[in-house]
Amino acid sequence: MGWTERVVEHLADEGHRLTGPRRAILEHILRYSAPFTAEELLADLQKAGVQVGRATVYRTLELLHTNQWLGLVHRPEGEHGYVVAEPGHQHHLVCRRCGSVIAFQGCELETLLGGLAERLNFRIEGHWLEAFGVCRTCQMTSAA
């Protein structure tokens, strides 16, 4: 069962309706190999001849993000981009060259933060970790 099917099932369970625009958006999201923004998706949908309103795109992405089917990544430059995700705690490796994203769970991080928290008496409730660099493919594709 693919990502789309799982999302559809989950949304149905939560009582959300499966509408045309939502289907179209879900399908289009899978075409991205790099983080995308709401405006980019809107433009791509229109370019593809799919008639969807701006507000719907924003609302649907928000819905998916809230349910953790989309993760949020930010580039060092500043903007935010969405990436396909799975519910649960995870982090990302983002390629600076091609933008591809690899998700990972590795949370020995909890240990590091735990020690820190104890030392500072700071109650940690969550964290945000994102690494960026050059993916395997891009390393091979061209020099350095």
Partner DNA sequence: ATCTACTTGATATTCTGTATCAAGAACTAT
Partner DNA sequence: ATAGTTCTTGATACAGAATATCAAGTAGAT
Residue 22 found at the interface with DNA (CB under 7 A): yes
Q: Which is nearer to Zn ion, 63 or 107 (CB)?
A: 107
Tell whether residue 18 is a contact of DNA (CB under 7 A): yes
At 31, list the tokens.
Answer: 């075409």
Segment 62-121, which members bind DNA (CB under 7 A)?
62, 80
Query: Rounded to whole angstroms, how far apart are CA atoms 3 and 9?
Result: 10
Among 29, 60, 70, 94, the residue binding DNA under the rule CB under 7 A is: 60
Cα→Cα distances 72→4, 15, 52, 91, 141, Å = 18, 24, 22, 10, 27
CA distance 45 to 69: 19
- Binding site partner of 102, from Zn ion, DNA, its own copies, none, Cβ cut-off 5-8 A by kind: its own copies
Per CB under 7 A, does 48 bind DNA?
Answer: no
